[in-house]
Amino acid sequence: MTKLPLPKIIAVDFDGTCVDHRFPDVGPNAPGAVVTLQELAALGTKLIIFTMRGDEYLDAAVKWWKYHEIPMFGVNNNPEQKEWTSSPKAYAQLYIDDAALGAPLIQPAEFRRPCVDWIAVRRILGLPPL
């Protein structure tokens, strides 16, 4: 697997990426998600929550990030891009999403659907193993 240079901005999906799919509830944490997101933020990567959730369901995702002390650069947007584009798509250098082509997935026994394999993401980004 090729190691990527550490992106400056990463957009991260929520359901199936940070937690198991239990919408409208918040499912159990995807293995390795919290520690990896915390580590990426500590290394200076700006993290954007990039989810289909809206209204109070989006609030639940934001609360999850805050509870786990994961800094949020943006929520469904990149706050800096309005300086150079009017596009509604949040600009990032990497998008981590369980629905993305090529996203590494695992199927924890207690999960309803596959989720992002954060151990593989760590390998791809050159982070130390957990």
Q: What is the pLDDT of residues 84-120, one digit of tens each?
A: 999 999 999 999 999 999 999 999 999 999 999 999 9
Domain encompassing residue 25: 9-125
Give the pTM: 0.94
Domain total in the chain = 1
Domain for residue 91, yes or no? yes
Domain for residue 3, yes or no? no
3-state class percentages of the chain: helix first, strand second, coil last, to nearest 5: 25, 15, 60
Domain for residue 2, yes or no? no
Domain for residue 130, yes or no? no
Q: What is the CATH number of the domain that holds 79?
A: 3.40.50.1000
Q: Are 61 and 14 in contact (CB under 8 A)?
A: yes
Q: How far apart are CA 127 and CA 30, in angstroms?
A: 17
Domain for residue 20, yes or no? yes
Domain for residue 49, yes or no? yes
Q: What is the pLDDT of residues 34-47, one digit of tens each?
A: 999 999 999 999 99
